[in-house]
Amino acid sequence: MAPLVLTHGCSLSNLPLFVAAGAGIFAAEGIDVDVQRYDEMSATGDALSSGDAELGTAAFTQPLIDAGRTNPPRLVAGSGLMGIALLAQPELEKVTDLVGLTIGTFPGDPLEVLLHDVLVAGGLGPGDVVIRAFDRIEDAVEAFDDRAIAAVTLAEPHANRLRDRGARELSDGRELWGDPFPDTVLVASERLVAERPQTVSAAIRAMVRAEAHIHADLAGSIAMAVEHFPGYSPADLATAALRQPPRVDLRGLVPTVFGRWDTLTALGLTPGGPAPAAAVQLDLLHAELGAEHPSGVSSSARQGT
């Protein structure tokens, strides 16, 4: 059987997947995987919708956006938390200072959802600013550095790089979505869940073990992810990882996921109506965790069993 191509995003909230692959945890769970490097934010959604990948990590909004298509991705576990922000040029002190200015974001991603919710919370709407869509993070960072955009929504480690250059943080999402909230999640196609649930369960076990590995050895875990973040040193990634911790046990955060449904609908990313309950399927996660450790990682996972 050919290796499973695993999709993933471009932020450190994908670290458990990189560690599960790099430390041989997927292989130990009997899953032969192919983890490619993606440079475009849309690549994850494209890989899932085309069927090129039926397992991997994706933005937590993806299962909601794609719920109506054939063989949609199902949210089966977590991956990483938070670590996204709206960052502005240093002289812009509050959200209302953005009126009439150009803001960069990434369509269909939690970064676009965050921008919408921050604007609304500040008494503004998308029509009060000029929104510029990006697909490559490097292009957005370059536009910000060149002052072609007044603000941008970014995830770690890219957000921290702009902070280090003097960007002002207008929101990190916690005041709107709670603390913590999910950023990236483990997804599996509806077909894979139905036909090969044992593979999905094995992937969940691998992610849980990878989370334990990260907690035990952050530096070693970061070393397995460096190749996916060209231009960033291990020290850069370790600092940024503190803003985007891993969390595979997402059971307590399901309301936060569905709480973004109205914003996705307002952005035209969903058809509206009731949120699709089937988009989140945590039965296999619940079965794997069993007796739960207070941190969200089971005691057996912490022992690497």
Question: pLDDT at residue 82 above 50?
Answer: yes
CATH class of 84-177: alpha beta
Question: pLDDT at residue 48 above 90?
Answer: no
Pairing status of strand 182-189 against strand 168-171: unpaired
Instruction: Tell me the Cα Rg of the chain.
Output: 18
Higher pLDDT, 78 or 4: 78
- The structural domains of the chain, with segments of one domain joined by +, span 4-82+181-302, 84-177
Question: Which pLDDT score is estimated for 305?
Answer: 29
- Which residues, 6 or more positions from 94, have their beta carbon under 8 angstroms from its beta carbon? 122, 170
Question: Which pLDDT score is estimated for 263?
Answer: 97
State the average pLDDT for the chain: 91
Structure token digits, residue 73: 């991705």
Write the burial class of residue 93 (CB in 10 Å: 0-12 exposed, 13-18 middle, 19+ buried).
exposed
Long-range contacts, stretch 89-95, CB < 8 angstroms, 24+ apart: 89/144, 89/147, 89/150, 89/151, 89/167, 89/168, 90/166, 90/167, 90/168, 92/150, 92/151, 92/168, 92/170, 93/168, 94/122, 94/170, 95/119, 95/121, 95/122, 95/124, 95/170, 95/171
Instruction: Answer for the pair 110, 60: CB distance below 8 angstroms, yes or no.
Output: yes
Question: pLDDT at residue 294 above 80?
Answer: no
The pLDDT tens digits of the residues spanning 228-276 come to 899 999 999 999 999 999 999 999 999 999 999 999 999 999 998 999 9
Amino acid at 59: A
Question: Which pLDDT score is estimated for 8?
Answer: 79
pLDDT band at 293 (very low <50, low <70, confident <90, very high): very low
Q: Do domains 4-82+181-302 and 84-177 have the same CATH topology?
A: yes
Higher pLDDT, 40 or 266: 266
- The whole-number average pLDDT for the span 20-30 is 96
- The whole-number average pLDDT for the span 105-114 is 95
Kindly report the number of other CB atoms within 10 A of residue 117's CB atom.
22
Question: pLDDT at residue 107 above 70?
Answer: yes
- The whole-number average pLDDT for the span 42-46 is 65
Range with the poorest average pLDDT among 37-41, 61-65, 165-169, 295-299? 295-299
- The whole-number average pLDDT for the span 206-217 is 98
CATH class of 4-82+181-302: alpha beta
Question: Which pLDDT score is estimated for 291?
Answer: 53
Write the burial class of residue 265 (CB in 10 Å: 0-12 exposed, 13-18 middle, 19+ buried).
middle
User: Taking the model in full, what pTM does it have?
Assistant: 0.91
Q: How far is C-alpha 181 from the chain's CA centre?
A: 10
The pLDDT tens digits of the residues spanning 138-188 come to 999 999 999 999 999 999 999 999 999 999 999 999 999 999 999 999 999
Pairing status of strand 55-59 against strand 182-189: antiparallel
